[in-house]
Amino acid sequence: DQTWTELRDLVAAGTTTIIVPIGGTEQSGPAMALGKHNVRVKALAEKIATKLGNALVAPVVAYVPEGNIDPPTEHMRFPGTITISDKTFEQLLESAARSFRHAGFKTIVLIGDHGGYQADERHVADRLNAEWKKTSVRVFAALDYYRFAQGPYTDKLLAAGATRAEIGTHAGLADTSLMLAIDPSLVRKDRLASSPKLGAGDGVYGGDPARSSTEFGQLGVDLIVDGTTDAIRAFIASQPK
């Protein structure tokens, strides 16, 4: 963390890219902690910023759309999940982006660790870029961050010996392995082998996390960090000087 004067001086010296990590607070079955997305996106954002070399990381956006409250839908059916509306979420991102512009940042990068709000990221970026088209400030919805965690990561896992049935889509081998590679304290390893399969009433998830490992997870970490860094660099290079 920086003081306000330290941040001011960094921006003045050319650190004009800010990465906004977006997580979410939701259930991930019986074996992973509720803060999975928040811890993961912060760690990966810091790795991306380090690779870029001239970027800072904003505080994590931890409250995101997760379903309706009454009646409860999606992840809201399980205690501990926190939700806000898409409208509120977009307003939050927009206000944060305006704050970063005011502070002197030129490239505002949104990276989201959860699939449910990817379109919201794009909406915010499109609106602000249209409004700011006569300025040098741009918002980049780095949707490649989430994309790399899906199909490309699945391909890596398959090549490493995992099966599609294990990999899953939420809280399965892929998801759990990423968490083991980043912060194993958020995974209850004793519950992996006994986690119920898809369709169980104690969590929304798919796949089988029993064989999750740090090694499987590191494949995803490297892929997401390298791919997102390249996408951000390409976006910055494409902007008028």
Predicted pLDDT of residue 192:
84
C-alpha torsion sign, points 58, 73, 189, 215? negative
Predicted pLDDT of residue 205:
64
| Residue (of 136, 132, 121) closest to 21 by Cα position | 121
User: What are the beta bridge partners of residue 110?
Assistant: 20, 141
Domain that holds residue 48: 4-238
**Alpha carbon of 118 to those of 3, 4, 21, 114, 193: distances in Å?**
31, 31, 12, 8, 31
Type of residue at 94: E
Residue 192: count other Cβ atoms within 10 Å of its Cβ: 20
Predicted pLDDT of residue 200:
46
Q: Look up the CATH number of the domain holding residue 216.
A: 3.40.50.10310
The pTM of this model reads: 0.94
Q: Is 125 in contact with 141 (CB distance < 8 Å)?
A: yes
Query: How many domains are contained in the chain?
Result: 1
Predicted pLDDT of residue 132:
98
Predicted pLDDT of residue 114:
94
Q: Is 241 in contact with 205 (CB distance < 8 Å)?
A: no
Type of residue at 9: D
Per-residue pLDDT tens digits for 182-221: 999 999 998 887 655 545 444 556 788 999 999 999 999 9
CA distance 191 to 173: 13
Residue 71: is the preceding peptide bond cis (ω within 30°)?
Answer: yes
Predicted pLDDT of residue 203:
55
Angle at 233 between CA 232 and CA 238, to 5 degrees: 100
CA distance 1 to 4: 10
Q: Is 221 in contact with 44 (CB distance < 8 Å)?
A: yes
Q: Low-confidence residues of the chain, pLDDT below 50?
A: 198, 200-202
CA distance 71 to 13: 51
Type of residue at 151: G
